């Protein structure tokens, strides 16, 4: 290596749903029937719709489809899988940063490995039970990743996630 020349440490962080992959998973909105049983479905939301959804009084989210490994194993890659593969093969770090809950991290990592990409980590910031502030949680993770690398690139299909990510100084790309 030339004296004084420093290799840039780069990380590529990808959202999962509608960024790296598309699935048929939906979030079901239910209204409890009052008898303690599982409530009636009111509407179904795609991941993009969920990002901006607001619950009406008494409604709850049902994420059960997102907990199913089957949906992930059958996920369809988007064009960004080629970028992930290219940067991975160039020796750069690949992360996944998803609104899903942590129980599917392993399935997502396995799905990526099927395309020859081994992620450093799959950060799943969502929760099964409550709607956490996804954009804020993603921002926190990006802040941490940014401390480890010279340059961090972040890809996400949600404008709000991108806006908050930009505040951390990472390079952002709205998919
Ligand atoms: Mg997404």
3-state SS, residue 89: helix
CATH of domain 10-23+70-174: 3.40.50.1000
Instruction: Using the mean position of ligand 1's atoms as its centre, give its distance from the Cα of residue 20 in Å.
Output: 8
Higher pLDDT, 155 or 103: 155
Give start-end residues of each CATH 3.40.50.1000 domain in the chain. Answer: 10-23+70-174
Instruction: Using the mean position of ligand 1's atoms as its centre, give its distance from the Cα of residue 127 in Å.
Output: 15
* 138 close to 168: Cβ distance less than 8 angstroms: no
Instruction: Using the mean position of ligand 1's atoms as its centre, give its distance from the Cα of residue 2 in Å.
Output: 41
* Model confidence pLDDT, tens digit, residues 126-151: 876 666 899 999 999 999 999 999 99
- DSSP string over 115-170: TT---SEEEEEE-SSS---HHHHHHHHHHHHHHH-SEEEEEES-HHHHHHHHTTT-
pTM of the predicted model as reported, rounded to 2 decimal places? 0.84
Q: How many helices (H) and strands (E) does the chain have?
A: 7, 10
């Amino acid at each position: 290596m030339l004296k004084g020349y420093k290799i840039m440490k780069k990380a590529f962080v990808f959202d999962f749903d509608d960024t790296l992959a598309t699935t048929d998973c939906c979030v079901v909105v239910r209204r409890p029937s009052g008898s303690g049983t599982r409530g009636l479905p009111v509407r179904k939301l795609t991941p993009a719709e969920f990002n901006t959804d607001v619950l009406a009084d008494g409604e709850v989210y049902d994420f059960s489809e997102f907990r199913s490994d089957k949906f992930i194993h059958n996920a369809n890659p988007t064009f960004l899988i080629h970028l992930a593969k290219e940067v991975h093969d160039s020796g750069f770090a690949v992360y996944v940063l998803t609104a899903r809950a942590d129980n599917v991290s392993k399935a997502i990592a396995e799905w990526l490995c099927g395309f020859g990409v081994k992620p450093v980590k799959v950060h799943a910031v969502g929760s099964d039970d409550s709607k956490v502030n996804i954009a804020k949680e993603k921002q926190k993770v990006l802040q941490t990743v940014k401390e480890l690398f010279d340059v961090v690139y972040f890809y996400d299909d949600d404008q709000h996630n991108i806006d908050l990510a930009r505040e951390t100084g990472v390079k952002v790309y709205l998919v």
